Amino acid sequence: MLKDITLGQFFPGKSILHRLDPRMKIVLSILYIVVIFLCKNLAAFAFITLFTAAMVVLSGISLRTILKGIKPLIFILAFTAIYNLFFYGGDRLLVKLGFIEIYYEGAMYAVAMVVRIVCLLVGSSVLLTYTTSPIMLTDGLERLLSPLSKLKLPVHEFSMMMTIALRFIPTLIEETDKIMNAQKARGSDFSSGSLVRRAKALIPILIPLFISSFRRAGDLAVAMECRCYRGGNGRTKMTQLHLSFRDFAMLFVILLCGAAVLLINRFVPGFSL
Amino acid sequence: MNKLELKNVSYTYSAGTPFCKKALDSVSLSFEKGQIIGLIGHTGCGKSTLVQLLNGLLTPDEGAVLLDGQDINRKGGDLRSVRFRVGLVFQYPEYQLFEETVYADIAYGPKNMGLSKEETDRRVRETVQFVGLSEDCLSMSPFDLSGGQKRRAAVAGIMAMEPEVLVLDEPAAGLDPIGREEILGGIFSYQRKKKSTVIIVSHSMEDMARYSDRLVVMNRGRVLMQGSCREVFSRPERLTEIGLDIPQITRFMLALRKRGIDVRTDIFTVEEAKDEIIRVSGGRHRA
Ligand SMILES: Nc1ncnc2c1ncn2[C@@H]1O[C@H](COP(=O)(O)OP(=O)(O)OP(=O)(O)O)[C@@H](O)[C@H]1O
Ligand SMILES: [Mg+2]
């Protein structure tokens, strides 16, 4: 069912990753992504995989949830792997089947790419979305970007829009489910027939969904105005963010990890991108 | 013969996640053909979950839902045809409207069943009579209707499929008293005419006392009591214990009893109460 999509969902908890300052988490995620792209050889990829696994353990999020999150991406992963396997040239031929040639470099590259995508997704979702509530996330983003408001960029409005969008994703999913069920009860059939018929079968879902989204947006605007919302000017926050020791400790760990990757790239021999 | 049965049905939402929530716990029920059954219970006790199991929108974790003795979720079974036989009107069904006209929206279900144009037309016109929409509404856009009219159109959309079992999840919630009366009365006369089974979920004890032949009381995902209205309302303490109420008039009779007037207390409609009061007062104040 639609509700089973776990990517981008928040799982409340009390782990150290949950308690980090959201601003620091955003910075950490960016650094983490940079580190992933620094990896050049297999040893470095193995290292970053271990590092990602350690973060998963630290977050206390079950492996099943993580795997469920990757499941929708199986297709993309398989495509990436196969594409690189077959079309990446090199000089060490491994297999030759008719016109298909698989090279050692291609195989390594395929592995590296898949590892990179998986680490990227799992790591950033464990660091950010799984362990940070959407409110904290946008709050952190707003603070982080607040210097830009000096340049007259609408940082507050931007983050408010994000908060609202994030807030309504689960609502929309729930609503889609509900409407689908109501139409199924009237005999809609979404899973058989030609492509055109299936596309047509979506109309009874999309129209009510659009209508209720517009209505909800209007209601929300009115409700916000009734509470005198008038943008970010002079607005104070109920929760104040504080950087603490653990935030800097994690920053140190990530930097250390980056340094380690650079060293491995340089000193461990083997296949290199 | 039993038409629709639940056998030891359990259902858990989001099983295996931190949000898991057991909504139904080993529920066994059977719904007799041709009865109106009222399903009552506190908010969150699992009524909406139960009704969605009845037409296979949810699949039980344990146990089975049997229609004419056959498990509706069996392998190779046709759920779509089950949904034509067990029609479900959701809680706040207004959001399911989507067609350009009310007519087309009500005809959506019958059309999916593959009925002929004439039959569909007959059913649409018949059901709007039941739910009390005027024929002029048929050519309007469903989005131009009032809230109460939308509700009627949505109910009509399921009724027009003429299911053997019609299930309604709080059909009258949020309507004004006249609206409630009309919609419930419409369902009642539909049932008497088609002799189908009707299951109504409601929070209003008064409505349930008036219309249903049998009551099922649920509490925290289990069936607490079931029986005729008389049997259920004769034990008000069990109902109040779980945060439910008894019809006002029954409370009134209980209060009279407390003051030493020897009236029967298994009374739940105003009509009956009138007769009873006239009886104990010796028939002196005949109206
Ligand atoms: N989609 C869902 N995901 C998770 N939990 C749910 C979901 N729907 C319902 N629940 C939970 O299951 C329980 C039963 O819900 P249900 O909707 O069946 O109650 P109900 O008896 O219909 O209540 P009401 O009278 O308020 O409509 C509730 O505790 C609710 O929190
Ligand atoms: Mg409900």
Q: Are residues B165 and B123 in the same domain?
A: yes
Q: What is the pLDDT of residue B215?
A: 93
Residues in chain A closer than 8 A to B113 (CB atoms): 187
| Domains contained in chain A, number | 2
Q: How confident is the model at residue A4 (pLDDT cuts 50, 70, 90)?
A: low
Write down the ipTM of this complex.
Answer: 0.86
The mean per-residue pLDDT over the stretch A7-36 comes to 89
Is the Cβ atom of B45 under 6 angstroms away from ligand 1? Answer: yes
Contact B35, B42 (CB under 8 A): no
Decide if A234 is inside a domain.
no
Q: Are residues A29 and A97 in the same domain?
A: yes
Q: How do residues A86-102 score in pLDDT, each as one tens digit?
A: 887 777 777 777 777 88
* Contact call for A187 and B16, based on CB within 8 A: no
Q: Cα of B57 to ligand 2 centre, how many Å? A: 15
Q: Are residues A20 and A129 in the same domain?
A: yes
Residues in chain B closer than 8 A to A174 (CB atoms): none
Q: What is the pLDDT of residue A165?
A: 85
Decide if A65 is inside a domain.
yes
User: Which B-chain residues 142-201 have CB contacts (< 8 A) with chain A?
Assistant: 143, 157-158, 161
Q: Are residues A129 and A57 in the same domain?
A: yes
Taking 70 as the threshold, does the pLDDT of residue B198 lie above it? yes
Q: Are residues A150 and A219 in the same domain?
A: yes
- How many beta-carbon pairs below 8 A join chains A and B? 58
Decide if B286 is inside a domain.
no
Range of the domain at B267: 247-281
What are residue B5's DSSP bridge partners? Answer: B30, B66
Is the Cβ atom of B232 under 6 angstroms away from ligand 1? Answer: no
Residues in chain B closer than 8 A to A204 (CB atoms): 96, 98, 108
* Contact call for B98 and A204, based on CB within 8 A: yes
Q: Does A211 touch chain B if contact means CB atoms closer than 8 Å? A: yes
Q: Are residues B84 and B189 in the same domain?
A: yes
Which of A186, A190, A203, A209 to probe by mutation at the B interface, max B CB count within 10 Å? A186
The mean per-residue pLDDT over the stretch A131-154 comes to 87
Query: Of A63-67, B13-17, B43-47, B174-178, which gets the smallest average pLDDT?
Result: B13-17
Taking 60 as the threshold, does the pLDDT of residue A7 lie above it? no
Q: What is the pLDDT of residue B286?
A: 52
CA distance A115 to A53: 12
Which of B45, B54, B216 is the best mutation target for the ligand 1 pocket, counting ligand atoms within 8 Å of the beta carbon and taking the most?
Answer: B45
Q: Cα of B54 to ligand 1 centre, how many Å? A: 15
Q: Are residues B201 and B277 in the same domain?
A: no
Q: Does A188 touch chain B if contact means CB atoms closer than 8 Å? A: yes
Range of the domain at A22: 14-133+242-267
Q: How confident is the model at residue B283 (pLDDT cuts 50, 70, 90)?
A: low
The CATH number given to whatever domain includes residue B9 is 3.40.50.300
